[in-house]
Amino acid sequence: VYPGRYNPVMSEPVRRQYQIYIERPVESVFAFVSDLCHVARLSAPESPEAVSSGVEGALSSGSVVTYTTRRTGSAESLTVQVEQWNPPTGYVERQLRGPFSEWVHRRRMVPFQSGTLLTDQVEYVAGGPFALPFRAAKGEVLTVRVAGCDRGRVLNRSGWWLAPSSP
């Protein structure tokens, strides 16, 4: 995989991982990130997500949820099931239907200093019926707010920190 570029080999697995420190206890962070009413607040501004069907309120073991996002002007859906549920330390979602041949999201929370280190890891294999629209998504960025910083830091999907473009 080339940093910052689309992976041209569609059958090759791609792994993305992001971490952020949050000055709250693990239990509070878990409650926040597993509550589906916060999905829009947790998604990147460049590709906002919404829950289009599934459970209401908090996720739980076996929950099936369909997320919809807008990328490159068209709506795309991803239906996932929570296959591992380990409150308050994390959970794993796996794609049931969507644009990827395979897609797994692991979310972990661990106590760190006086707060929580939240780790999101997504593994996917491009392909499926909607592979071509995702090629246009290369160069996406995720804005991460870092505690104690007055500006957002930008992390590209390959895990490289980029300088903010404006003050």
Q: DSSP for 77-127, please give it.
A: EEEEEEEEEETTTEEEEEEEESSEEEEEEEEEEEEETTEEEEEEEEEEEE-
Report which of residues 15 and 136 the model is more confident about. 15
* Closest C-alpha among 162, 167, 155 to residue 45: 155
Cα separation, 138 vs 46, whole angstroms: 12
Residue 51 has a pLDDT of 80
Q: Residue 142: is its pLDDT beyond 90?
A: no
Residue 70 has a pLDDT of 73
What is the arithmetic mean of pLDDT over 104-123?
94
What is the arithmetic mean of pLDDT over 57-77?
84
What is the arithmetic mean of pLDDT over 129-150?
41
What confidence tier does 52 reach under pLDDT thresholds 50, 70, 90? confident
What is the arithmetic mean of pLDDT over 111-133?
79
Cα separation, 15 vs 19, whole angstroms: 14
CB atoms within 10 A of CB 118: 23
Most distant CA pair in the chain, distance: 45
Report which of residues 35 and 6 the model is more confident about. 35
pTM strictly above 0.75? no
Cα separation, 51 vs 38, whole angstroms: 10
Q: Residue 62: is its pLDDT beyond 50?
A: yes
What confidence tier does 160 reach under pLDDT thresholds 50, 70, 90? very low
